[in-house]
């Protein structure tokens, strides 16, 4: 995979999508009740029925340099070999730092990290082991404010039997101890970051925090695991991992109405081919009209 990046303008931000790693998850779990004969056509599926997923970090750099925002941080580097093999985890060490350097920013310039949710494939890159002893942890970006919805934080600390395997406490518990977490409160929270607003989603996991970057003609909505890849655009193609599948379906329908009304562009967290897209919506059919943020050759 090339390190060449494509950027796009959204309001006062320059935005890029960085593939920080790869993982494989069971295709049946990723598409729920959808038969394999339908979903396998567009997927890289291995002999264990696992499909290839990118773990993407969105970098948003404000023109005046006042904000450098990371949305999600990928799988991170803390994986024991046996667990990494189970999920075919490949962490692209230094991918975020290289991307920041290409944008003429140092890692120390990162001001904000938006944790859409605290599943290991989204939050793993917030912390690292300090040394080879693999005991003490440190924040990867210690100067950044880390944004998490409080209700999701509470859920991550006491997950259900169904989703507890998705949360690794060493990915996020250090945030509170370090004082670098800022909790988002309530069901209609205002976002204090200039040019950004919050959207909430509850179908995949409670209080998923999704940033929307303002633009007069075409805002950008980071979908998180509401729509993990372009293959998940059909409203009913819902993951078995989602705690509340019917909520996911209805939240997608509401998102697509917003796409129509506001000419939204969207950004994906896991698509292996593109970081985002303009959508074509024809009745109940939703598809990619124009791929965006595609890794260069």
Number of residues assigned to the chain: 297
Q: Is residue 226 situated within a structural domain?
A: no
Q: Is residue 264 situated within a structural domain?
A: no
The boundaries of the domain holding residue 11 are: 7-209
Q: Does residue 254 register a pLDDT over 70?
A: yes
> How many other CB atoms are there within 10 angstroms of residue 219's CB atom?
21
Q: Is residue 282 situated within a structural domain?
A: no
Q: How confident is the model at residue 297 (pLDDT cuts 50, 70, 90)?
A: very low
Give the pTM. Answer: 0.96
Please, is 156 exposed, middle or buried when counting C-beta atoms within 10 Å of its C-beta (0-12, 13-18, 19+)? buried
Q: Is residue 233 situated within a structural domain?
A: no
pLDDT one-digit tens code per residue, 210-246: 999 999 999 999 999 999 999 999 999 999 999 999 9
Q: Is residue 147 situated within a structural domain?
A: yes
Q: Is residue 112 situated within a structural domain?
A: yes
What is the percent of the chain with per-residue pLDDT over 90, rounded to a whole number?
94
pLDDT score recorded for residue 4 = 63
pLDDT one-digit tens code per residue, 171-210: 999 999 999 999 999 999 999 999 999 999 999 999 999 9
Q: Is residue 129 situated within a structural domain?
A: yes
Asked if 107 and 100 touch (Cβ cutoff 8 Å), the reply is yes
In 3-state terms, what secondary structure has residue 202? coil
Phi, psi for 258 (deg, rounded to 5): -70, -35
The separation between the first and the last C-alpha atoms of the chain, rounded to the nearest angstrom, is 8
Q: Is residue 36 situated within a structural domain?
A: yes
Across-strand partners of 32?
Answer: none
Q: Does residue 1 register a pLDDT over 70?
A: no
Q: Does residue 3 register a pLDDT over 90?
A: no
pLDDT score recorded for residue 131 = 87
Q: How confident is the model at residue 134 (pLDDT cuts 50, 70, 90)?
A: confident
pLDDT one-digit tens code per residue, 7-61: 999 999 999 999 999 999 999 999 999 999 999 998 999 999 999 999 999 999 9
> How many other CB atoms are there within 10 angstroms of residue 137's CB atom?
18
pLDDT score recorded for residue 296 = 56
Q: How confident is the model at residue 2 (pLDDT cuts 50, 70, 90)?
A: very low
User: Which CATH number characterizes residue 40's domain?
Assistant: 3.60.15.10
pLDDT one-digit tens code per residue, 278-287: 999 998 899 9
Domains in the chain, number: 1
pLDDT score recorded for residue 153 = 98
């Amino acid at each position: 995979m090339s390190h060449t990046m494509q950027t796009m303008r959204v309001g006062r931000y320059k935005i890029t999508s960085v593939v920080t790693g790869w993982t494989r998850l069971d295709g049946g779990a990723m598409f729920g009740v959808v038969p394999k004969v339908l979903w396998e056509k567009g997927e890289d599926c291995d002999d264990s029925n696992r499909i290839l997923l990118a773990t993407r970090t969105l970098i948003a750099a404000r023109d005046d340099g006042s904000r450098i925002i990371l949305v999600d941080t990928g799988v991170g580097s803390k994986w024991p070999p046996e667990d990494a093999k189970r999920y075919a985890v490949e962490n692209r060490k230094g991918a975020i730092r290289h991307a920041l350097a290409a944008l003429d920013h140092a890692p120390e310039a990162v001001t904000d990290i938006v944790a859409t949710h605290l599943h290991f494939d989204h939050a793993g890159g917030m912390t690292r082991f300090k040394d080879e002893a693999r005991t003490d942890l440190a924040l990867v970006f210690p100067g950044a404010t880390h944004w998490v919805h409080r209700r999701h934080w509470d859920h991550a600390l006491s997950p259900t039997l169904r989703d507890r395997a998705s949360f690794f406490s060493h990915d996020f518990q250090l945030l509170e101890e370090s004082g670098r977490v800022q909790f988002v409160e309530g069901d209609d929270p205002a976002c204090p970051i200039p040019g950004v607003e919050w959207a909430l989603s509850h179908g995949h996991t409670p209080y998923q925090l999704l940033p929307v970057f303002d633009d007069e003609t075409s805002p950008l909505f980071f979908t998180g695991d509401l729509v993990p890849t372009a293959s998940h655009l059909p409203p009913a193609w819902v993951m078995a991992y989602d705690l509340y599948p019917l909520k996911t379906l209805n939240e997608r329908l509401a998102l697509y109405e917003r796409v129509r009304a506001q000419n939204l562009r969207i950004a994906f967290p896991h698509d292996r081919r593109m970081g985002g897209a303009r959508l074509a919506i024809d009745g109940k059919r939703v598809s990619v009209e124009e791929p965006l943020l595609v890794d260069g050759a």
